[in-house]
Amino acid sequence: MKNPIQWLRSLVFITQMYLAMLVLGIVFAPWALASPKGARIACKSFARWALWTARWMVGIRTEVRGQVPTGEVIIAAKHQSFLDIMIIFNAVPSARFIMKRELMWTPVIGVYAKRLGCVPVNRGKRGAAIAKMVKDVAKETKEPGQLIIYSQGTRVAPGARKPYKIGTAVLYEGLKQPCVPAATNVGVFWPRTGIYRKPGLAVVEFLEAMEPGIGRNDFMEQLERRVEDRSDALMREAGFDPGQAAVQA
């Protein structure tokens, strides 16, 4: 049974977080429009504010494990909620995301995503979307950084199983950059939908890099196995049994 006090704290936290997004978005707008550096500082400021307030308002502590990628790499991450986005963005020096096209139309997120060089994808047109994604990524590689892609293409609840999409392998082959898998358990505490936030330690873990040159099928098999196995271990560490959740689903 959910604690009503924790539910109220969660509501207050979410309200102030999105208010902070709006305020920071407006305050930093002139700098962000003039320079991508301004947009990056604004987004990092918001991420740090959200992580800090999550800690003392709803009891969610965050931790980054593994070697944080700093060079030109692809980060193929498990995606469970908005929290893993903020943890990764705050951890790496120069992140940009492969993101669904609809988000680019939102008033604050869309403007800043464009300034950061994020790449929109139309998920409804699979073949054309992959081809356009590769072309758009190539246009945005003028400045070195970390390209984050969510290989399942959407937020996935703890214990649920969704297929890994081939777009990650296409980018890996085309860019000829190392791919760093990233596992997480954040969905145990911060769900993909709803208001309630559960106290605990939310972790994103960067795994050993996969160097260029692995065949497509082997790459996808290794990526899925490594991310899913480590994410399951992190969820069990948090007191959640992903196997039991999958059976119940």
pLDDT band at 43 (very low <50, low <70, confident <90, very high): very high
pLDDT tens sequence across 75-91: 999 999 999 999 999 99
CB 133 within 8 A of CB 171: yes
pLDDT digits (tens, 9 = 90+) for 182-217: 999 999 999 999 999 999 999 999 999 999 999 999
What is the spatial distance between Cα 103 and Cα 110, in angstroms, rounded to a whole number?
6
Q: What's the rounded mean pLDDT across residues 50-63?
A: 98
pTM, entire model: 0.92
Query: Does 245 score more than 70 pLDDT?
Result: no
Tens digits of per-residue pLDDT, 10-41? 999 999 999 999 999 999 999 999 999 999 99
Beta strands 146-150 and 95-100 are parallel
Rounded CA-CA distance 87/72 in Å is: 19
Q: Please state, in angstroms and rounded to a whole number, the distance separating the CA atoms of residues 36 and 132.
A: 23
Outline where 58-166 has alpha helix (H).
Answer: 82-91, 109-116, 126-139
